[in-house]
Amino acid sequence: MTDPVLSLSNISKRFGNVVANDAISLDLQAGEILALLGENGAGKSTLVSILFGHYTADAGSITVFGQPLPAGDPKAALAAGIGMVHQHFTLADNLSVLDNVMLGSESLWQALTRKAAARAKLVQVGQRFGLGVDADALVGKLSVGERQRVEILKALYRGARILILDEPTAVLTPQESEALFDVLAQMVAQGLSIIFISHKLAEVLRVSNRVAVLRAGKLVAQADARDTTQAQLAQWMVGRAISPPQRRPSKHLGRAVCVLEEVSTAHARERLNRASLTLHGGEMVAIAGVSGNGQVALAEVLSGTRRITGGRITLMGQAMPQVASELVALGVARVPEDRHGVGLIGDLPVWENAISERLRSGAFSRGPWVKRRAAQAYAKAVITRFDVRGGGPTTAARSLSGGNMQKLVLGRALMHPGSLAEPDSAAFTPKLIVAHQPTWGLDIGAVAYVHEQLIAARDAGAAVLLISDDLDEVLTLGDRVAVMHGGQLSQARAALDWSRESIGLAMAGAEGVAHAA
Amino acid sequence: MRLEKRQHSSALAMVLAPIGAVAFTLLVSTLLVLWAGAPVGQTYALLAQGAYGSVFALSETLTRAIPLMLTGLAATVAFKAKLFNIGAEGQLYVGAMAAVAVGGMHGGAGWDLPPALSFVLMLLAAALAGALLLLGPALMKARLGVDEVVTTLLLNFIVLLLVSLMLDGPMKDPTAMGWPQSVALRGELELSKLIPQTRLHTGLLGAVALAVALWALMKYTVLGFDIRALGANPRAAAFAGVPVTRTVVMVALLSGGLAGLAGAIEVAGRTSYLTLDMSPGYGYSGIVIAMLAALHPLAVVVASVFVAGMLVGADSMSRAVGVPTFIADVIVAASLISVLVATLLTQYRVRWR
Amino acid sequence: MSDFLDILTNPSFWVAVLRIATPLIVGTLGVLLCERAGVLNLGIEGIMVAGAFTGWLAVYVGAPLWGGVLVAALTGAVLGLLHAFLTVVLALSQHVSGLGITLLATALSYYGYRVSFPKVSTPPTITPFQEMGWLGLPILSQQTPLTLLALVAVPVVAYMLYRTPVGLAVRMVGENPQAAEGQGVSVVAVRTSAIVLGSALMGVAGSFLTLSAFNAFFFNMVNGRGWICVALVVFASWRPGKALLGALLFAFFDALQLRLQQSGTTVLPYQMYLMLPYVLSILALVLVARRASYPQALMKPYRKGER
């Protein structure tokens, strides 16, 4: 039995009151792919960030190839042979691929950059691992898959012998994920050892040799991938037996609520290009697609924050207004992708956030004055009904945890001031719910909660549009599923009519799957 | 060395922070006094006396505080919306120009209106002039992404040249025998004195009233919410339906208007003329005051009295002891920096690696 | 119109253009370095005043002229260090820190001048840099060595930014500090160095006024040149070559308005000529704004290890 190439011993880290890592001890053997599994918030990213030196552990030590690793120093980690492919790529859009990859590889005291040699080395590394990319291309112009390749090349260029990949398949189509797994196999063949972070059970079993499961900051299980099952992994991840999510198909299909006809938006990185879709009350239409194909544009157009330049959108038969406050007044509930940067205003208290989109309708204002007492009471109602924890109406929104922020955003969208009179009843149902990545970054409990709310609203007659990167979520929740590619929407077929393969092809823009409502 | 957010506000830090800020500022100013070779204790005593030591001193301080309050409020409302209005100096001067044009030159068209109406029109014209001057840069930022810091700054220089041009030509005082000042304001439009035999005028009441009004606006009105939301997170504000461009316009009107009013009230209360040197940098001092007040309108009143005290006290102290008056500016700038650092340290703790 | 041509064909006009451009070139390069690293430095106006004062004072008490330039550079560097501490280490608002430093540096300089020369009717003078007659080139011969320094600085800064590893580090830190950190580059160290170096250049720009253009220190000497440098950086799209161009263009109009005033064709009041440079700067900003691809991390505070 050879020594492990990497050994973490009793690593602990807390952020304020939150214990992110609790005395974790873990080994990585040479030439193996170790999957680090856990739900959102379990501590996986924190652990590898400590390993790479972005954070310093409060306690514990790390040994790499037999040598102790200095803490909190990415330079030392790189020198020791550790490379990291971040979940959110750390790339400069305005600089070239070569610049991004080369940075830090030469001493800052050197008088001249050896560009030709660097370029040659980049090509060579790319060939060795099957990752080709144009060295002089501006990173900002590359596709998501290509940018990930650059992120990986950064680590390989620096001679990484241990590679950490943080949720690498989150932004890839199923086919691209397979290609990535081939690359990983190549890397192992060339002598690398890999830590692969994921929360997707099937993937983990497919690609890794061993699995380590984190839950609430602790390492709760380690197992050989061949000796365990998805159900067992899920149980370790969550701490109790959970059944795989059930399909809950809609029972009553209502009238058309929102119709998009050949809708286009202005030229930008993400745009809509003659997209068409019909949403009926009582159904959930889920949109699958690799992020960056126009989902943001679609969500923004239906949220009233982006104008259309072509085509028409009707809401309940009338032209849909393109002003956010009017949409809210008409019964459109919006759950944005970025709860931190777009959904809530962190510096303002919870109550001001709770009424922010209804201030203009007169429900909480009398002339120029804000009806503070009514607003705070309403906020309290939202907090209670949607189980928002971590503060009261006057707490600053940024102090809430991610899950509670999302509950606040959801509650704000799904509740109505009229329901103050009967806080327990779902007296108000929105006409249309636009939910963009509503479960991103949430733990399983919060994810289940959000799903429940969306399904309940659908069953009460709302039309629900769910845009998500998570294929499992899309295929399980959606009554009909459409695929977004290049700003266009495919036909929205019944969820059961799609196979993983056909949807993967559509996500990649394969022929024969374009267009229509 | 790095910073880590504190979980709970430390009572110790809250007390030490202002003390630390004061200590640092005193250190810097003491060193300067020593450099000038003046007796330290006596210098500070004269400074305090000159600022608050007598009814006359207090009246001078409060008189100086009036334009500072107004430019401080102008900076407060703008900075709250993250509109960095550095042009209050220019807006003050165009306000003063407008005031003289309406109140001294009868609107240039020889109207003769009853004093009360003239007075109101004069103030409105001044506010409007200041507002319009800021509107350009504000819209350029909102629509074109042009950084408003540089544009508002450059406008200050342009305005000062414009004033000089006006004083040489159309607004020249025929009775002044070459002295660069404008036609005088009509006597009946001048503000009356709060304390007889001093320069303190009723503008003080107006300035304090405006501070209270701004505070109420920011806290209790929909517009106040819009402004705070826009400043805190423009994307989220737009998502929530805050009318972005309209709010930016309102902020420009409020901020530029307040600075313009500062100019008008200076003319109506203190100088009676438009001159080139009527503002020794009130526009810029207003920014410091706004920061010292942590962008709180009521605190602006207190901060202006403090800064005015420094400026007035330094003037009188300088005559007696010879320490240059610029020490007041050093004290104000040092206070700003030390208050910023102190405030930061109450929210973050320092961690040595 | 013929007046106009007369002015343009007179070599002394172009001498003036280059002379006026010199502090702008150096100052703009200083701002460029800071902003490329992601930090706005509004302290430039005050740093130029301080550089003008301390450089001149050093020469007044006996230092050689280049010693004065060095003192001015050091003054700028120290003020830059303060700005770096406030904005990079403490992550305070870059706008406020810069303005605070301008106020502080200006007030300290004026105070120092008054303390050193309490009651003077005429400002005390020094012997400034002399023209470089030995150069034998038209227009350049009538400049002082600091102008040569300014012109040389442009390719040097460009080389550093684009051809050296440290220049790449500076650019990366201004685009994506997380990326830099992930490649083992210390964001704090690189940003601080860029700010200190840039501020040193700003100090030198100020010293040009008292050691070359004039031979004494006056109040309101800098008169907004620092702000114009900030505008010129945007106009130059953060590129050293274009910064030179922008400075020359601005100096062209500034020299032109001076000549037009003097030539007696005063159709317009002289103040309007004086306004021209500022108006043009604003116009330049507006024209370039849409297209400007600025350093992505500019003005965004960066706190390492924060969740």
Q: pLDDT, tens digit, for every residue of A283-333? A: 999 999 888 889 999 999 999 999 999 999 999 989 999 999 999 999 999
- Pairing mode, if any, of strands A480-485 and A493-494? antiparallel
As a whole number of angstroms, the distance between CA C215 and CA C129 comes to 9
Domain parsing of chain B, residue ranges: 73-288
Give C72-137 as a DSSP string.
Answer: HHHHHHHHHHHHHIIIIIS---HHHHHHHHHHHHHHHHHHHHHHHSSS-SS------PPP-GGG--
Residue A454, both tokens = 């969306």
CB contact under 8 A, B241 and A341: no
pLDDT band at B106 (very low <50, low <70, confident <90, very high): low
B-C C-beta contacts closer than 8 Å: 129
CB contact under 8 A, C285 and B151: yes
What residues in B contact A347, CB-CB < 8 Å? 228, 232-233
ipTM of the modeled complex: 0.87
The percentage of chain B sitting over the pLDDT mark of 90, rounded to a whole number, equals 49
CB contact under 8 A, C182 and A111: no
CB contact under 8 A, C42 and B164: no
Q: Which residues in chain A (36-95) have CB-CB distances under 8 A to chain B?
A: 56, 72
In sequence order, what are the residues at sequence separation of 6 or more whose Cβ sits closer than 8 angstroms to the Cβ of residue C13?
C7, C255, C256, C259
Q: What pLDDT, on a 0 to 100 scale, did the predictor assign at position B253?
A: 96
Cβ proximity of C228 and B157 under 8 Å: no
Question: What's the predicted TM-score (pTM) here?
Answer: 0.89
Cβ proximity of C113 and C55 under 8 Å: no
- Pairing mode, if any, of strands A432-436 and A332-335? parallel
As a whole number of angstroms, the distance between CA A12 and CA A60 comes to 6
**Is A324's Cβ below 8 Å from some Cβ in B?**
yes
Residue B322, both tokens = 């010879």
As a whole number of angstroms, the distance between CA C251 and CA A180 comes to 57
Q: What pLDDT, on a 0 to 100 scale, did the predictor assign at position C265?
A: 62
In the β-sheet with A6-15, what is the strand arrangement from edge to edge?
A: A18-28, A6-15, A59-64, A67-68
The CATH label, of 3.40.640.10, 3.40.50.2300, 3.40.50.300, 3.60.10.10, for the domain at A6-238 is 3.40.50.300
In sequence order, what are the residues at sequence separation of 6 or more whose Cβ sits closer than 8 angstroms to the Cβ of residue A185?
none
Nearest Cα to Cα of residue C97 among C156, C23, C44, C138: C44
pLDDT band at A512 (very low <50, low <70, confident <90, very high): low
CB contact under 8 A, B150 and C111: no
Cβ proximity of B296 and B108 under 8 Å: no
As a whole number of angstroms, the distance between CA B207 and CA B191 comes to 13
B→A contacts (Cβ < 8 Å), by residue, are 5, 7, 220-225, 228-229, 232-233, 235-242, 353
pLDDT band at C28 (very low <50, low <70, confident <90, very high): very high
Q: One fold for both A6-238 and A245-331+430-517?
A: yes
Q: Which residue out of A108, A163, A400 would a mutagenesis test of the C interface target, given it has the greatest number of C Cβ atoms within 10 Å?
A: A108
Cβ proximity of A427 and A416 under 8 Å: yes
Q: List the single residue in C with minimal CA-CA distance to A51.
A: C182
Q: What share of chain A is helix, strand, coil (3-state, %, to 5)?
A: 35, 25, 40
Q: Which residue out of A103, A113, A114, A115 would a mutagenesis test of the C interface target, given it has the greatest number of C Cβ atoms within 10 Å?
A: A103
As a whole number of angstroms, the distance between CA B157 and CA A474 comes to 60
Q: What confidence tens digit (pLDDT) does each residue in B201-230 have?
A: 888 999 999 999 999 999 999 999 999 999
Cβ proximity of A190 and A170 under 8 Å: no
CB contact under 8 A, A347 and B237: no
C91: left (phi over 0), alpha (psi -120 to 50) or beta: left
Q: Within a 13 Å sphere around the CA of A311, how many CA atoms are in the beta-carbon half?
A: 20
In sequence order, what are the residues at sequence separation of 6 or more whose Cβ sits closer than 8 angstroms to the Cβ of residue A242?
A234, A235, A444
The percentage of chain C sitting over the pLDDT mark of 70, rounded to a whole number, equals 96
Angle (CA) A505 A506 A508, round 5°: 65
Query: A265 CA to chain B: closest CA distance, Å?
Result: 18
What residues in B contact A17, CB-CB < 8 Å? 7
CB contact under 8 A, B353 and A56: yes
Instruction: Kindly tell me if the per-residue pLDDT of C263 is higher than 80.
Output: no
**Is A370's Cβ below 8 Å from some Cβ in B?**
yes
pLDDT band at A92 (very low <50, low <70, confident <90, very high): very high
In the β-sheet with A310-315, what is the strand arrangement from edge to edge?
A: A275-280, A256-264, A310-315, A318-319
CB contact under 8 A, C231 and B150: yes
In sequence order, what are the residues at sequence separation of 6 or more whose Cβ sits closer than 8 angstroms to the Cβ of residue A395?
A349, A350
Q: List the single residue in A with minimal CA-CA distance to C181.
A: A74
CB contact under 8 A, B235 and A342: yes
Closest partner residue to C172 (CB to CB) among A74, A77, A92 is A92
Q: Is the dihedral of CA A266, A270, A276, A278 positive or negative?
A: negative
Closest partner residue to C305 (CB to CB) among A54, A86, A95 is A54
pLDDT band at C261 (very low <50, low <70, confident <90, very high): confident
What residues in A contact C302, CB-CB < 8 Å? none
Q: List the single residue in C with minimal CA-CA distance to B349.
A: C90
Q: List the single residue in B with minimal CA-CA distance to A323.
A: B241
Closest partner residue to B229 (CB to CB) among A323, A334, A348 is A348
Closest partner residue to A17 (CB to CB) among B7, B232, B238 is B7
Closest partner residue to A336 (CB to CB) among B5, B224, B239 is B239
**Is A369's Cβ below 8 Å from some Cβ in B?**
yes
Cβ proximity of C242 and C236 under 8 Å: yes
Mean pLDDT of chain C: 89
Domains along chain C with CATH numbers: 2-116+144-289 (1.10.3470.10)
As a whole number of angstroms, the distance between CA C153 and CA C230 comes to 18
Instruction: Kindly tell me if the per-residue pLDDT of A506 is higher than 70.
Output: yes
- Name the burial class of residue C193, with classes exposed (0-12), middle (13-18) and buried (19+) by CB atoms within 10 angstroms of its CB: buried
- Pairing mode, if any, of strands A210-215 and A193-198? unpaired
What residues in C contact A77, CB-CB < 8 Å? 184
CB contact under 8 A, B239 and A305: yes
As a whole number of angstroms, the distance between CA A29 and CA A5 comes to 6
CB contact under 8 A, C289 and B145: yes
Average of per-residue pLDDT across A152-166: 93
Closest partner residue to A90 (CB to CB) among C165, C176, C304 is C176
Q: What pLDDT, on a 0 to 100 scale, did the predictor assign at position A517?
A: 37
CB contact under 8 A, B233 and A334: no
Question: What's the Cα-to-Cα distance from B126 to each of B85, B88, B95, B120, C213, rounded to whole Å?
Answer: 17, 13, 4, 10, 40
Average of per-residue pLDDT across C230-256: 91
Q: What pLDDT, on a 0 to 100 scale, did the predictor assign at position A513?
A: 47
Is the CATH code 3.40.50.300 the one for domain A245-331+430-517? Answer: yes
Q: Where are the alpha helices (DSSP H) in A80-210?
A: 97-102, 115-129, 144-157, 174-189, 201-207
Domain parsing of chain A, residue ranges: 6-238, 245-331+430-517, 348-426
Q: What confidence tens digit (pLDDT) does each residue in C131-147 have?
A: 888 877 888 888 899 99
Using CA atoms of B288, B290, B295, B297 in order, give the dihedral in degrees to the nearest 10: 160
Q: What confidence tens digit (pLDDT) does each residue in A412-444 have?
A: 999 888 755 554 444 578 999 999 999 988 888
Q: Which residues in chain C (61-120) have CB-CB distances under 8 A to chain B?
A: 86, 89-93, 95-97, 99-101, 103-104, 106-108, 110-112, 114-115, 118
